[in-house]
Amino acid sequence: KPVIAIVGRPNVGKSTIFNRIVGERVSIVEDIPGVTRDRIYSSGEWLNYQFNLIDTGGIDIGDEPFLAQIRQQAEIAIDEADVIIFLTNGREGVTAADEEVAKILYRSKKPVVLAVNKVDNPEMRASIYDFYALGFGEPFPISGSHGLGLGDLLDAVAEHFKNIVTEEYDDETIKFSLIGRPNVGKSSLVNALLGEDRVIVSNIAGTTRDAVDTSYRYEGQDFVIIDTAGMRKKGKVYESTEKYSVLRALKAIDRSDVVLVVIDGEEGIIEQDKKIAGYAHEAGRAVVIVVNKWDAVEKDEKTMKDFETNIREHFLFLDYAPIVFLSAKTTRRIHTLLPKIILASENHSLRVETSVLNDVIMDAVAMNPTPTDKGKRLKIYYATQVAVKPPAFAIFVNEPELMHFSYERFLQNRIRDAFGFEGTPIKIFARAR
């Protein structure tokens, strides 16, 4: 998916535009208690195009002076995006800070579409002509608060998608990434996985994405490790900011089939782990939880079980994710990881038979009657799988509003019991027939 970044000085309305563009989609994502969502990166859709959107304004760059911050955010846009929306404010005209942003964007080779926000009515349209001076061609008048002009803007952005080469790995290749807070051992784990007996096919330093993908083959299966942290150009101020590393992780998750959530077995689980795990779940990726540094843990026969219970309590939303205990350092138990990655990936793209699915649903209904509301009972007619990665099921009913959350959860569990789906989230939607 192409990545769009919104860049511009403070107060031009970046977050408003971000929410306008992604808004609808985000609202259907279920909320995970305790996990605050960083609204800096989200997916959107326009016509037949799917893309991801970054609000660079959401990435604060510490104590840098004002102009330096704006510059850094423009640099992030250039580094991370395929197309840049340069946002300005029609009420204030072209400012020195706008010119500063323009200067930086001008030096990059990334396509830039200029938008003039807060053009709330036709009378204000005359104000946009000054913005030609920024040197990015036609300015697009928009109004974030009124939702005007976004269609034309996104058309112009989508024009540039045609020239973007998106990576292509074949469908059989399993793409995975490792996420976790610093020092849990992600790099060590990559090295351990790529030990001597693995044939590394290639090391592609992404030109546009600036991530390093390592392709390798093991026992006839092709894998790609999408590495976020490694091989970055060092020295940019924003590289060390927390939001930026979150952004990089979210990008890697987005390109993965399977996400390994790496935890430090020696230190245990902290709040940040939970947040990071939440990202993987929300993105709908298959998940394997890896407890690393197991060599450094003093153990008895109960230790592993206790740790597992602890993980389950902290990551309630990841109840489907298998847990692997290992040591990247000694490589002990490392051989148990790949089978779980493969299993999770297979389940992530598993399609079940419609007839069997309907048997499962009807059995469930017979066992536990559908809910009623104001004397009206939910009727389930038919279920079908509508998507994979992750598997999603449409349940056709008389009135979708009658589908109670707890009943939906019950059906989800029955489907899980019947088909397994270990390692992958699944989704259910009630639809009117």
- Chain residues binding ligand GDP by CB under 6 A are 180, 182-188, 229, 292-293, 295-296, 327-329
Cα separation of 274 and 272, whole Å? Answer: 5
Our CB check for ligand GDP shows the closer of 45 and 267 to be 267
CB of 122 to ligand GDP, least distance (A): 54
CB of 179 to ligand GDP, least distance (A): 9
Distance, C-alpha 155 to centroid of its chain: 24
Cα separation of 269 and 278, whole Å? Answer: 14
Please say whether the beta carbons of 2 and 83 come within 8 A: yes
Please enumerate, as own/partner, the contacts of 104-111 that have beta carbons within 8 Å and a separation of 24 or more. Answer: 104/71, 104/74, 104/75, 104/78, 105/7, 105/74, 105/77, 105/78, 105/136, 106/135, 108/78, 108/84, 110/77, 110/78, 110/81, 110/82, 110/83, 110/84, 111/82, 111/83, 111/84, 111/160, 111/163
49-to-162, 164, 168 alpha-carbon distances in Å: 10, 13, 17
CA-nearest of 49, 5, 54 to 161 is 49
Our CB check for ligand GDP shows the closer of 53 and 192 to be 192
CB of 292 to ligand GDP, least distance (A): 5
Q: What is the DSSP letter of 336?
A: G
Our CB check for ligand GDP shows the closer of 19 and 327 to be 327
CB of 401 to ligand GDP, least distance (A): 46
Our CB check for ligand GDP shows the closer of 139 and 180 to be 180
Please say whether the beta carbons of 35 and 283 come within 8 A: no
CB of 371 to ligand GDP, least distance (A): 45
CA-nearest of 328, 331, 336 to 293 is 328
CB of 309 to ligand GDP, least distance (A): 22
Cis peptide before 390 (omega within 30 of 0): yes
CB of 291 to ligand GDP, least distance (A): 10
Q: 298-313 burial, b for 16+ CB within 10 Å, e for fewer?
A: eeeeeebeebeeebee
Residue nearest to ligand GDP (CB): 185
Our CB check for ligand GDP shows the closer of 22 and 229 to be 229
Please say whether the beta carbons of 207 and 233 come within 8 A: no
CB of 265 to ligand GDP, least distance (A): 8
Our CB check for ligand GDP shows the closer of 25 and 332 to be 332
Cα separation of 186 and 328, whole Å? Answer: 9
Our CB check for ligand GDP shows the closer of 136 and 244 to be 244
Our CB check for ligand GDP shows the closer of 296 and 356 to be 296
Our CB check for ligand GDP shows the closer of 153 and 253 to be 253
| DSSP 3-state of 369 | coil
Alpha helix (H) residue ranges in 349-392:
354-367
